[in-house]
Structure 1
Amino acid sequence: MSTTLAAMPAARRPRADHGSEEELTIEQLSERTGLTPRNIRAYRTQRLLPPPVVRGGTGYYGREHVERIERIRQLRAEGFNLTAIQRLLDDTPASGDGAREFQRLVSVAYDAEPPRTVEAAELFAQLGDQLTPALVQRAIELGAVRALPDGRFELPTPALLDAAAELTDRGIPLEPVMPVFELVQRECETIADAFLDTFVERVWQHFQEAGYPRARWDEIAETVERLRPTASKAVLAIFQSTIDEAIERRFGDELAQLAERA
Structure 2
Amino acid sequence: MAQYRIDDLARAAGMTARNVRVYRERGLLPPPQKRGRAAVYDDSHLTRLRLIGVLLQRGFTTAHIADFIDGWESGKDLTEVLGLQRALTEPWTASAETVTISVAEAEALIGDPAQLQRLVGLGLAHVEADRCTFTDPKLLSGFASLAEYGFDITTLLDLHERVHAAVDAISKTMIATVKSHIVEQHGEGWIPQGEDVGRTTHMLEIMRTLSVDSVQAILGRTLEVNLREQLGNYLEVAVQNTPSSIRSSA
Taking structure 1 as the reference length, what is the TM-score of the superposition? Answer: 0.61
Q: Name the structure 2 match of 1:152.
A: 131
Please tell me whether the aligned partners of residues 140 and 147 of structure 1 are also in contact (alpha carbons under 8 angstroms). Answer: yes
The answer to whether residue 151 in structure 2 is matched with residue 172 in structure 1 is: yes
Match of 2:83 among 73, 96, 101: 101
Q: Which letter does structure 2 place at the counterpart of 1:190?
A: A
Hey, what does 1:140 align to over in structure 2? 120
- Summarize deviations over 1:197-230 as a string: whole Å, max 9, x none: 0011113653455652221111111222232232
Q: Are 1:67 and 2:27 matched, yes or no?
A: yes
Q: TM-score, normalised by structure 2?
A: 0.64
2:122 is the counterpart of 1:162: no
Is the Cα–Cα contact under 8 Å of residues 102 and 217 in structure 1 kept in the other structure?
Answer: yes
Secondary structure at the residue paired with 2:96?
coil
CA contact (8 A) 1:115 1:154 kept: no
Shift of residue 177, structure 1, vs aligned partner: 0.9
Please tell me whether the aligned partners of residues 115 and 154 of structure 2 are also in contact (alpha carbons under 8 angstroms): yes
Letter in 1 for 2:178: F
Are residues 103 and 244 of structure 1, via their aligned partners in 2, closer, same or farther at CA, if it must alter by over 3 Å?
Answer: same
Cα 1:159/1:64, change in 2 over 3 Å: closer
Identity percentage of aligned residues: 20
1:241 aligns with 2:210: no
Partner Cα separation in structure 2 for residue 146 and residue 211 of structure 1? 36
1:117 equivalent in structure 2: 99
What is the total number of aligned residue pairs between the two structures? 194
Counterpart position of 1:76 = 55
Find the aligned partners of 1:197 and 1:203 in 2 and give their Cα distance: 10
Deviations 1:52-90, CA, capped at 9 Å, x for gaps: xxxxxxxxxxx9983149989927337699796345332
Query: Which ranges in structure 1 are unaligned for 5 or more consecutive residues?
Result: 1-62
- Counterpart contact for 2:87–2:205, Cα < 8 Å: yes
Contact map agreement 2:126 2:133 (CA 8 A) in 1: yes
Q: Which residue of 1 aligns with 2:176?
A: 197
Q: 1:97, 1:69 → 2: CA distance? A: 15
Distance 2:182 2:124 in 1: 32
Distance in 2 separating the partners of 1:69 and 1:178: 39
Take 1:138 and 1:247, find their aligned partners in 2: how far apart are those partners?
Answer: 29
1:188 Cα shift? 1.8
**SS in structure 2 of the partner of residue 67 of structure 1:** coil
1:238 alignment partner AA: I
Tell me which structure has the larger Cα radius of gyration. Answer: 1
